[in-house]
A and B are shown apart, each in its own frame.
Chain A
Amino acid sequence: MTLSHFTAALVFAFFASIVFGITQRNEQREMVKYGAKCFVFFVIGTIAAGWAMWLLRH
């Protein structure tokens, strides 16, 4: 099975965010919000790291 780097990072972010959301908050609504927030931060971090590496290379 081969995933692109970005897809692999997205899948990773998706599952990790679910676990973070459930385990780090008490209320169901807060869990969903925190999970979504984690996912967004993961994705933003991935894109930022990608651009940082591109800048370092060029």
Chain B
Amino acid sequence: MARDKTDVAESTTPKSAVKAQPQPITLMSVVAPAVGWLIPGGGHLIQKRWGRGLLLMLSVVAMFVLGVLMQGKVYAFNTGDILDILGFVGDLGAGGLYIVARALDIGRGAIDLATADYGTKYIIVSGLLNIISAVDAHDIAIGKKK
């Protein structure tokens, strides 16, 4: 009976009252996503989530490299077509990989294969997945996730 009362009390608690408290900004909550963006999986690795970090690194790097090997396009900063702009934003998410690719002038050739378009999408998605990974590293740093 007492348990029932507790359940009722919990169910009638206003949602605003159980809203998560704002998390304090710690050094790790800033460094982890930044490192995670720059080095895929790095945000997890510096928080000693070795398995997760290595798997994220493998996935993001493999997708980026496969995209380049498929002769996908690496977008540069542009203010032209909206899809080109979004392509750049997606690519930029890959962090260090994008910087290295641009520095080595990779992925700027003319697309002459049907599957090169897949390569372009691989590169963009690897960047987007890296952003998700960096956000996850931030969640771990603030204690929102184990």
Q: Interface on A for B, CB 8 Å cutoff?
A: 1-3, 5, 8, 11-12, 15-16, 18-20, 22-23, 26
Contact = CB atoms under 8 A, between A and B. Distances in A.
Contacts of B52: 22
B69 A19 contact: no
Q: Which 6 A/B pairs are nearest by Cβ-Cβ distance?
A: A1-B69, A23-B136, A15-B59, A19-B129, A8-B118, A18-B59
Contacts, number: 55
24 contacts: A1-B66, A1-B71, A2-B70, A3-B115, A3-B118, A8-B70, A8-B115, A8-B122, A12-B118, A15-B63, A15-B129, A16-B125, A16-B129, A18-B55, A18-B56, A18-B58, A19-B60, A19-B133, A20-B132, A22-B52, A23-B133, A23-B136, A26-B145, A26-B146
A52 to B, nearest CB: 19
Instruction: Report which residue of B58, B63, B71, B145 has the largest number of chain A beta carbons within 10 angstroms of its beta carbon.
Output: B63
B113 interface: yes
Given A8-B70, A19-B132, 17 more contacts: A2-B70, A5-B115, A8-B118, A8-B122, A12-B121, A12-B122, A12-B125, A15-B59, A15-B63, A15-B129, A16-B125, A16-B129, A19-B56, A19-B60, A23-B56, A23-B135, A26-B146
Nearest to B63: A15
A18 B118 CA distance: 19
B16 to A, nearest CB: 24
A23 B129 CA distance: 10
Contact of B113 (A2, A12, A15): A2
A20 B59 CA distance: 11
B62 interface: yes
Contacts of B71: 1
